[in-house]
Copies of this chain bind each other. A is one copy, B any other.
Amino acid sequence: MRKTKKINLTEISKPLKTELGKFNKHFKIALKSNVPLVDLVTKYILKQKGKKIRPLLVMLSAKLCGGINERSFRGATLVEMLHTATLIHDDVVDEAKERRGLPSINAVWKNKVAVLMGDYLLSRGLMLAVENKDFDFLRVITASVKRMSEGELHQISRTRKLDIDEKSYFKIISDKTASLLATCCEIGARSATDDPQKIKALVDYGENLGIAFQIKDDILDYKGKSKITGKPLGGDIKEKKITLPLIHALSKADEKEKQKIIKKIKKSSKGNNLQDIVDFVDKYNGINFSNTVAEEYIRKAKKALEIFDAAGRETLEQLADFVLQRNK
């Protein structure tokens, strides 16, 4: 009986406030090092407050499967360290100057420190898992890091050739984004249960949620206002990343119009032709189509949860709705 259907992440996280506080402590302790420069950078990382969706997924999945325990906190710490490592490396490769409203690590300390800090966080996270004999976590997380880097590399090679269709789009976003969200759910579930049916249900939830999450991200690149997302409009087009809204429009246009648009995309690096491309996507309902697809994945995500009690799964359902509604 909520007054409005608008969903807020802080609202969703509220029931887990104590646990998230405990997670933050775990994360802070895990980042500690003997090298002053490492401590300086990690202190800075802790200031860049992220949405913490990944640790939240770990804990909600653990809760649904029997309860949050020490292993759940370790799992949440592991995924957040890993996610942070990949963000730092992403900023190096994208030459991004900002992250979460603060200058990026590479902007403050240069590429060298950023690449090494990413490697440090990655190995530190995996080391914690080894030390605690969380070998099941290690299996899913190393496979996930591999899929993430493969997905990104796949996207780069397709992008360079401007050759992408729906099938490779879904393969790419499943590898680069959905794999880690599925991993969060799997790790949370495994920290609390060894029931394969429950684990599978949460992996399915995470995978579908992740795909919807990335589609939504790609839609925001066409629709989002820079002030809200912190990202400039049309950044993907400038990088020649062809995402679902554009793939759909290209599939609907005739050959002649398609070639005309492809020519415009090739010349769009400096922001030229952006409006023409956005108009082309609008003409063929690329955004509406993509929203419908995202809704479908959210429906699948929620369906995967049906083996659980209705009361227990409510927060994960809200999180799914949030992914659909988010505007940043």
Interface residues of A (CB under 8 A from B): 33-38, 86, 89, 92-94, 111-113, 115-120, 122-124, 126-127, 130-131, 133, 135, 138-139, 142-143, 145-146, 148-150, 152-154, 156-157
CB < 8 Å neighbour of A154 from B37, B139, B153, B156 = B37
Pairs across A and B, CB under 8 Å, 18 listed: A35-B154, A36-B157, A37-B157, A86-B119, A89-B119, A94-B112, A115-B115, A117-B149, A119-B122, A120-B149, A122-B122, A123-B142, A124-B146, A126-B138, A127-B142, A127-B146, A130-B139, A138-B138
**A117 and B37 alpha carbons, distance in the complex (Å):** 26
Copies of this chain, complex-wide, total 2
CB distance from A105 to the nearest CB of B (A): 12
Supposing A126-B142, A139-B131 touch, asked if A33 and B111 sit within 8 A by C-beta, the answer is no
Which of A33, A126, A127, A152 has the most chain B CB atoms closer than 10 A to its own CB?
Answer: A126
Cβ A149 vs Cβ B123 within 8 A:
yes
Task: Give the residue name and chain of the B residue nearest to A93 (CB).
Answer: B112
| Pairwise interchain contact B153-A117, C-beta atoms closer than 8 A | yes
Establish whether residues B135 and A130, one from each chain, have CB atoms under 8 Å apart when the complex forms: yes
Distance between Cα atoms of A94 and B138 in the complex (Å): 31
